[in-house]
């Protein structure tokens, strides 16, 4: 017969309670044959970490050719931990350390021809990852970027940028075409 042994915490005075469900059905809790920490819904793990989806709602016109320009993501679909600034800096600064999946897309509204059009994720003010471009021969190409990025949970931040070879370009607005989003994939 197995036993449950509760080792007292030398500094703790709390009571450890295991409650059965409000049910007439027998339930079984099976633990793996190894040591470790049981994760609860109150734990900080990927399922409860920060997640956001922001997009450009107000037109951003006249990008400067050959210059990386921050995309002004001024609207949010969701921001589970209030870590995205959609009013001043247009950046994501998560408060939980870990690895985050970050994705972005920027679509152009104008321009007859492009020799390049690319998006980039800037981490802490510097280009971290550069994306690819689709429809470069069309009048309004779209560029996407994606990366798995480590954040320290306090000062690290990311922003979405765009660069183009056409100075008469504007960024198209709307949640389906110009967006920036991310979520905690694994806490540290």
Residue 103: give its domain's CATH number.
2.60.120.40
Q: Is 100 within a domain?
A: yes
* The pTM of the whole model exceeds 0.85: no
Residue 3: the pLDDT is 62
Give the C-alpha separation, 88 to 115, whole Å: 31
Q: Which domain holds residue 93?
A: 51-187
Q: Is 153 within a domain?
A: yes
Q: How many separate domains does the chain show?
A: 1
Residue 1: the pLDDT is 47
User: How many C-alpha atoms does 66 have within 13 Å on its Cβ side?
Assistant: 0
Q: Is 17 within a domain?
A: no
Kind of pairing, strands 75-79 and 69-70? Answer: unpaired
Residue 62: the pLDDT is 73
To the nearest 10°, the Cα dihedral for 143, 148, 152, 156? -10
Residue 98: the pLDDT is 95
**DSSP state for residue 47 in the 8-state scheme:** G
Q: Is 172 within a domain?
A: yes
Q: Is 181 within a domain?
A: yes
Q: Is 57 within a domain?
A: yes
Give the C-alpha separation, 151 to 153, whole Å: 6
Q: Is 164 within a domain?
A: yes
Residue 28: the pLDDT is 77
- Buried (b) or exposed (e) across 33-66, using 16+ Cβ within 10 A? eeeeeeeeeeebebebbbbbbbbbeeebeebeee
Q: Is 86 within a domain?
A: yes
pLDDT tens-digit profile, the chain (188 residues): 456 666 666 676 777 677 777 778 887 777 777 776 666 655 555 667 899 999 999 988 778 888 999 999 999 999 999 999 999 999 999 999 999 999 999 988 875 566 678 999 999 999 999 997 765 666 678 899 999 999 999 999 999 999 987 777 788 889 999 999 999 999 98
Helices (H), 28-140: none
């Amino acid at each position: 017969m197995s036993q449950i042994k509760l080792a007292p915490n030398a500094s703790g005075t709390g009571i450890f309670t295991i409650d059965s469900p409000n049910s007439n059905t027998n339930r079984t809790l099976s633990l793996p044959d190894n040591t470790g920490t049981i994760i609860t819904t109150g734990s900080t793990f990927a399922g409860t970490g920060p997640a956001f989806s922001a997009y450009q709602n107000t037109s951003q016109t006249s990008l400067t050719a050959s210059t990386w320009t921050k995309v002004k993501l001024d609207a949010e679909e969701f921001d589970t931990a209030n870590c995205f600034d959609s009013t001043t800096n247009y950046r994501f600064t998560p408060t939980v350390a870990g690895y985050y999946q970050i994705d972005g897309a920027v679509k152009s509204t104008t321009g007859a021809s492009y020799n390049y059009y690319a998006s980039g994720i800037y981490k802490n003010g510097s280009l971290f990852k550069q994306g690819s471009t689709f429809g470069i021969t069309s009048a309004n190409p779209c560029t996407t970027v994606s990366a798995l990025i480590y954040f320290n949970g306090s000062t690290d931040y990311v922003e979405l940028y765009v660069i183009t070879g056409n100075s008469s370009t504007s960024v198209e607005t709307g949640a389906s075409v110009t967006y920036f989003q991310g979520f905690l994939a694994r806490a540290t």
